[in-house]
Structure 1
Amino acid sequence: MQEQQQAAGHLIVEALAAQGAERVFCVPGESYLPVLDGLHDASIPVTVCRQEGGAAMMAEAHGKLTGRPGICMVTRGPGATNAAAGVHVAQQDRTPMILFVGQIDSQMRERDAFQEVDYRQMFGKMAKWVAEIDHASRIPEFIARAYRIAMSGNPGPVVLALPEDMLQQSASPKPVVRVEPVAAALSNLQQAELEAKLSAAKRPLAIVGGARWSAAAVASLQKSAEKLNLPVACGFRRQMLFDHTHPCYAGDVGIGINPALRAAIEAADLLLVIGEELSEMPSQSYELLDIPVPEQQLLHVLPDPLALGRLYQPDLAICADPASFCAALETIAQSLETNWQEWRDARRTDYEAWSGARPQIPGSLQMREVMEVIACHAPTDTIITNGAGNYATWVHRFHRFRSFGSQLAPTSGSMGYGLPAAIAAKLQHPDRQVLCFAGDGCLQMTIQELATAAQEQANIIVIAVDNGMYGTIRMHQERTYPGRVSATTLQNPDFGSIATAYGFAAHRVETAAQFEGALKTALAHNRPSFLHLLLDPEAITPAASLSQIRTAAQQKNP
């Protein structure tokens, strides 16, 4: 009896459903119409985005939230190049993601056909795996392998190209089991060595970050830290990995690090680094720890053996995912007696002084007060998203994250990320509040996705911080070329009118009191809201105004 044949596009959708795909983010293209046809009758929701970069960032954010690959589909050529922005975020942030790209007919290769791109070359060093499905019969094999590669070790993006002629084929369906990430755990010998090194430490400090965390792993780590009196710091834009109100929380190791925390890391005799690779931003431009051998005793825990020792040669290298390691650490903590409370309390005091400061900035809108309003009125499980820019400093320093899954921010420093991430978060967690922080430059990278939010009825709250410039670049420009402003000024539109046209309830905010009223209204109403904050251009950082930065630079280099 001849097996029933199915169209390639439908096989792709069935393979995704078998792997538990919860949503597809896409910009449609004629190069993969058979897949769109397969989605027509499928149970997998499709979110239609306005630009491929936004679609890819939504898929990446979905991967961050769920631990399974976010799915993005784009057309060939320009669609793929636009989507590269989100692929790069996934690569640097260690996020599982699969990008499906339409491809030219395989018989037309090497002729510079319409929108022809060699995706292996284009994404070769950006993705964990780039492949082209050459025959419909291999679709289940390729997609299962893509899931495994995207999730295992250090997670990351996979790119699968779909030639037009392959999508015209049919094949017999092949059942494939649901793929789970490959677990990695420390050995009994390593567990004994870890216990001995912790027992001998006088001034230990843990730094956590990276991927493959879960709510259970975070809870396990917190229990261990509490039992041991171990101070814990979070890596750059990974602050949701430890409750900021907990007495063991010591702050974040990122851009604009608390000087007292940096001094404590340098003074520590043991660093327990879990999941965090300590690349440029958390390592303070690779100056925080000596390379290749740190002065502090380094116990480094990463799920990818190839990442261990790449930058720093550890005293104990443990290939383990955070869940496995934190479970083992919790077991060790039950029997380990330490004398770290005074050291821990000092780190906590440093953090509270840093995050509790009330810096005054130029202008009538005080961002410290904005953050206090959010702390007062937003639920503790609110998801905060942001892209890149100086405005994010206020979130990272002053917001106190309480739970796993409450932060979406790009360690890659990609502008435009906050809005797509917020949409993905609201679609995944419609019962939770989602606040998107975006600077005026950052917002305009993906502002068209306001339409996606409205179409999907994703009732997010966008907090647009408008100072009329590319603020971070202006800050660096004034430090390096004081008084010589070039290419960093923005003539902005009326953002509120644009948001209203997209279906958002818009509020203009010039004071903290106005912000409080606008936020309370936005939280109470079941519709997307846009809060347009007018910030004085001089209010560039919590530490210094733009004029102060310029003056200091002029005095240093008269």
Structure 2
Amino acid sequence: MYGVNVRKVFHVIIYKIIDKGGKVMTQVSQKNVKEEQKHGGQAIVDVLKKEGVTKVFGVPGESYLNVLDALYEENEIDFISARQEGGASFMAEGYAKSAGEVGVCTATRGPGATNLSIGLHTAQQDSTPLVALIGQVERPYRDREAFQEVDFVSFFRDLCKWTVEIDDADRIPEILHRAFHVARSGRPGPVLVSLPEDMQDDIVTRDTHGPIKLTTVCPDKNAVQEVAKELKNAKKPVIIAGGGVILSQATQELVSLAEAMQIPVATAFRRFHAFPNSHPNYIGALGLGARKALSEYIQDSDLVLALGTKFSQMTTNDYSIINEQNSRLIHVDISSDVLGRVYTPSSPIVSDVKEFLIELLHVIEPEDNSDRQKNVAEANEKYTRFSTPELTDNTEYANMKSVIHYIQNELPKNTVITSDAGNFFSWISRYFRYDEGGTYVGPTSGAMGYGMPSAIGAKVAHPDKTVISISGDGGFMMTPQEFETAVRYDIPIISIVVNNNMYGTIHTHQEAKFPGRVVGTKLTNPNFAEYANNFGGHGERVEKNEDIASAFERAIASEVPALIEVMTDPTILSANQES
């Protein structure tokens, strides 16, 4: 009797026997019930299917068994079972970034949901469309501190774009389709939907809703004309490209604008691939480890065109990147809430970034300005010099410059790199150049433990691409169990663990603020290569530069999830420290 409320079927069968008599009519009546009625769990999965969902990441739990049972019957949706809810939410977030779709994750009530929260916070700060389906205690038991009870609507309100609980099964199609719409529209973000366990048993009698189609947010044409004039008249303009460029797939239009107007382009924190890094107009990435000269260049500009960026604390170097006394700011974003929150723009424009650039390209006149050419060339030359590693031999430790150099030069150009937080990130941000389809997936929230689970999500989205996660030993050990998930589902990622046996970032901060008074940052670790082998993956340990290439070659040839442990010098904690 899959998919049918057994009690209601029983009533219908008895009724038919009394009314008609006869076994055949009873069977037909039961068949009709199955065809016409579905419980809440089925209705939820029906919405997922209509929304085009093909992957769901989660940890199974008793509070949403009806949803899991409906997924069992649905061949078009794969349920990927993680080992911890935080890992599942990172997988869904990494999948959403990579696939350009709404990610979906699930968890049970209470502890499961709170574990999941780290990925929702990441999605909120990264503007990633995500829908989280959370089992909840039965409706009659609410507000009694029932087993694992948490008021999810209030708990997750500050972590999500929208939080909602569905109390009536008939409203599942309406509310859940709306959840997907909210997640993907405007400035995207996470939506949490709470699902009381008993509500999932109820029969859905009404389904009149479907996916909500988005319309494009276009700019005001008069405002675009004014922008064209300002760009033409500016002496030293600069463009800051944020996540909105990536989300709207506007990189090519941005390249055309930069070339036509001879304007240099910097990318916002962890938005590296918004602009091709080898392009002569590229001048570097903002955020942690950014060149001081890059910040100074922007502060000295008389006009800043900011595209799809929220001006985060990291991007702006503690909100100091723009000189409001001397610079005019044109800020373009799909969300009006972002405009004016950090800096007051002289020209605030609410628009999809791609639509804005298309309109702007129609009205600009290409520049032939020797001063602009000189500015662009000088800024690009400084970036190129800064981002080109000088390789050195090291017989005692492996060198991260050599690891990045190998990935850059020997692996496919469309390789996807994921990472979490840590000082190792400075080598990625400084030396890796994103071109020809290469992408970066990382948390602007600085979440540790994100790298490897998000790589699983990215690889699920792009099974044909090489996907590499890079984590420190501290971050990797926050979600190491998800390596087993990769093995179990045959998802062949390559996970690099940069091992210096410490929380390197915090160690650095402590030494800077309280010299000689380091507390709690020393770590001990397992042999990570053996750890990978024990799960059925492929493990390598690299202790010197000359072993890097062969370790990668064996990892790739294994065709299974692989882990490369890189033993680094614990006295060198950042790329800038080597310079």
By the TM > 0.5 criterion, same fold? yes
- The farther-off stretch of 73-82 and 214-223 is 214-223
CA contact (8 A) 2:99 2:462 kept: no
SS at match of 1:38: helix
Per-residue deviation, 1:180 = 4.0
Counterpart in the other structure of 1:156: 189
Distance of 1:242 and 1:211 partners within structure 2: 12
CA contact (8 A) 1:360 1:542 kept: no
CA contact (8 A) 2:539 2:555 kept: no
Counterpart in the other structure of 1:304: 335
Rate the CA distance shift 1:91–1:83 in 2: closer, same or farther, 3 A.
Answer: same
Counterpart in the other structure of 2:21: none
Per-residue deviation, 1:404 = 5.2
Rate the CA distance shift 1:115–1:303 in 2: closer, same or farther, 3 A.
Answer: same
Question: Please, which of 519, 525, 528 is the counterpart of residue 552 of structure 2?
Answer: 519
Distance of 1:544 and 1:442 partners within structure 2: 21
The one-letter amino acid of 1:437's match is: I
The one-letter amino acid of 2:318's match is: S
The one-letter amino acid of 1:5's match is: Q
Distance of 1:525 and 1:329 partners within structure 2: 49
Distance of 2:213 and 2:442 partners within structure 1: 25
- Per-residue CA shift, 1:64-115, capped at 9, x if unaligned? 1233320001000000100010010001111110111100011111100000
CA contact (8 A) 1:95 1:211 kept: no
The one-letter amino acid of 1:278's match is: F
Rate the CA distance shift 1:488–1:216 in 2: closer, same or farther, 3 A.
Answer: closer
SS at match of 1:508: strand
Question: Please, which of 333, 351, 355 is the counterpart of residue 324 of structure 1?
Answer: 355
Question: Please, which of 198, 201, 213 is the counterpart of residue 234 of structure 2?
Answer: 201
Q: TM-score, normalised by structure 1?
A: 0.94
Counterpart in the other structure of 2:466: 433
Counterpart in the other structure of 1:552: none
Per-residue deviation, 1:9 = 0.6
CA contact (8 A) 1:100 1:159 kept: yes
CA contact (8 A) 1:213 1:323 kept: no
Is residue 463 of structure 1 aligned with residue 496 of structure 2? yes
Distance of 1:359 and 1:252 partners within structure 2: 22
Is residue 495 of structure 1 aligned with residue 495 of structure 2? no
CA contact (8 A) 1:273 1:301 kept: yes
Counterpart in the other structure of 1:341: 373
Q: Percent identity?
A: 38
Equivalent runs, 1:353-392 vs 2, <5 Å:
353-358=385-390, 364-392=397-425
Equivalent runs, 1:11-30 vs 2, <5 Å:
11-30=43-62
Unmatched runs of 5 consecutive residues or more in structure 1: 549-558
Is residue 136 of structure 1 aligned with residue 169 of structure 2? yes
Distance of 2:332 and 2:204 partners within structure 1: 44
Counterpart in the other structure of 2:119: 86
CA contact (8 A) 1:214 1:323 kept: no
- The farther-off stretch of 168-177 and 494-503 is 168-177
SS at match of 1:207: strand
Rate the CA distance shift 1:419–1:294 in 2: closer, same or farther, 3 A.
Answer: farther
Counterpart in the other structure of 2:64: 32
Equivalent runs, 1:157-556 vs 2, <5 Å:
157-172=190-205, 174-211=207-244, 213-214=246-247, 216-290=249-323, 293=324, 295-333=326-364, 339=370, 340-358=372-390, 364-403=397-436, 406-544=439-577
CA contact (8 A) 2:221 2:359 kept: no
The one-letter amino acid of 1:34's match is: N
Per-residue deviation, 1:4 = 1.6
- Per-residue CA shift, 1:391-416, capped at 9, x if unaligned? 01101110011145611000000000
Counterpart in the other structure of 2:5: none
CA contact (8 A) 2:391 2:402 kept: no
Question: Please, which of 84, 96, 107 is the counterpart of residue 129 of structure 2?
Answer: 96
Distance of 1:333 and 1:382 partners within structure 2: 35
CA contact (8 A) 1:135 1:166 kept: yes
Distance of 1:302 and 1:387 partners within structure 2: 26
Distance of 2:64 and 2:245 partners within structure 1: 31
Distance of 2:241 and 2:576 partners within structure 1: 26
Distance of 1:518 and 1:74 partners within structure 2: 37
CA contact (8 A) 1:206 1:230 kept: yes
Distance of 1:41 and 1:494 partners within structure 2: 41
SS at match of 1:191: helix
Q: TM-score, normalised by structure 2?
A: 0.91
Rate the CA distance shift 1:511–1:420 in 2: closer, same or farther, 3 A.
Answer: same
The one-letter amino acid of 1:141's match is: E
Rate the CA distance shift 1:13–1:447 in 2: closer, same or farther, 3 A.
Answer: same
Distance of 2:124 and 2:301 partners within structure 1: 31
Distance of 1:422 and 1:428 partners within structure 2: 10
Distance of 2:212 and 2:380 partners within structure 1: 41
Aligned residues: 544
- Per-residue CA shift, 1:124-162, capped at 9, x if unaligned? 111111100111111111111111111112111100000
Distance of 2:215 and 2:448 partners within structure 1: 32
Per-residue deviation, 1:182 = 4.4
CA contact (8 A) 2:419 2:452 kept: yes
Distance of 2:165 and 2:43 partners within structure 1: 15
The one-letter amino acid of 1:13's match is: V
Distance of 1:194 and 1:380 partners within structure 2: 35
CA contact (8 A) 1:299 1:317 kept: yes
SS at match of 2:251: helix
Distance of 1:355 and 1:148 partners within structure 2: 40
- The farther-off stretch of 213-222 and 57-66 is 213-222
Counterpart in the other structure of 1:70: 103
Distance of 2:490 and 2:439 partners within structure 1: 20
The one-letter amino acid of 2:458's match is: A
- Per-residue CA shift, 1:195-236, capped at 9, x if unaligned? 111110111110111247357411121122122222111111
The one-letter amino acid of 2:40's match is: A
The one-letter amino acid of 1:520's match is: E
Distance of 2:414 and 2:161 partners within structure 1: 32
CA contact (8 A) 1:12 1:139 kept: yes
SS at match of 1:161: strand
Distance of 1:278 and 1:216 partners within structure 2: 20
Distance of 1:182 and 1:24 partners within structure 2: 26
The one-letter amino acid of 1:307's match is: V
Counterpart in the other structure of 1:555: none
Rate the CA distance shift 1:83–1:220 in 2: closer, same or farther, 3 A.
Answer: same
Counterpart in the other structure of 1:554: none
SS at match of 2:140: helix
Counterpart in the other structure of 1:54: 87
